[in-house]
Structure 1
Amino acid sequence: MLHKFLIHNRGDHVGVATTTIKSGEKVVGVYMDDEDTIELTSNGDIPLGHKISVVDLDKSENVIKYQVTIGETTKQLSKGDYVHTHNIKTKRW
């Protein structure tokens, strides 16, 4: 199965869709730092270039991408969820 998303670093909470992902689709992601793979089922449609959660996160948890915090969850997230401004917020202001 070809990969549909990339995770930049081991320990990141999200991957980036390399093609549009459909809700309910079983997809494979590749960790770019060691080329390991992860398989999960998408819980929603995810547009090309947008984020998919590769871990479960509670509300108010930090979201890690590129090994840095990119925001905080505004609700609980499950592996396979679409991650965007509707469920994370910046911690810059």
Structure 2
Amino acid sequence: MIHFVVHEEGDSVGTVVVEGVKSGAALNGWVMEQDQMVEMRTASDIPIGHKIALKNLAPGDTVIKYGVDIGKVVAPIAAGEHLHVHNVKTKRW
């Protein structure tokens, strides 16, 4: 079963595609561009459609999704944690 999808290998986040992801769960992810599977354990509950960090991210780091910059980390994020507006902000303003 695929729990999250990642567009390409260099992305720092994946998108959860199933309901009910709980902290500590073992997840399977599909890296679409390379057609590869990855595994990771969650560090927090993550709602469907939200992002999961694929690696540790520090404040000031750039978040990459679909191979492009989608924002800046504003609070530390551990691999497997929920990544959303509480810890990432746009660079547009």
Give 3-state SS (helix, strand or coil) of 2:3's partner.
strand
Partner of residue 40, structure 1: 40
Distance across 1 between alignment mates of 2:80 and 2:61:
17
* RMSD of aligned alpha carbons: 0.8
Q: Identity across aligned pairs (percent)?
A: 39
Residue 62 of structure 2 is aligned to residue 58 of structure 1:
no
Q: Which amino acid aligns with 2:47?
A: P
* Structure 2 unaligned residues grouped into runs of 5+: none
- Tell me the TM-score normalized by structure 1: 0.94
* Structure 1 unaligned residues grouped into runs of 5+: none
Partner of residue 18, structure 1: 17
Distance across 2 between alignment mates of 1:57 and 1:37:
22
Query: For 1:33-64, what per-residue CA distance to the aligned partner results, in whole angstroms no more than 9, with x for missing partners?
Result: 01111111111111111100111111110000
Distance across 1 between alignment mates of 2:56 and 2:68:
17
Partner of residue 31, structure 1: 31
The Cα of 1:27 is off from its aligned counterpart by 0.4
Q: Which amino acid aligns with 1:10?
A: E
Residue 75 of structure 2 is aligned to residue 75 of structure 1:
yes
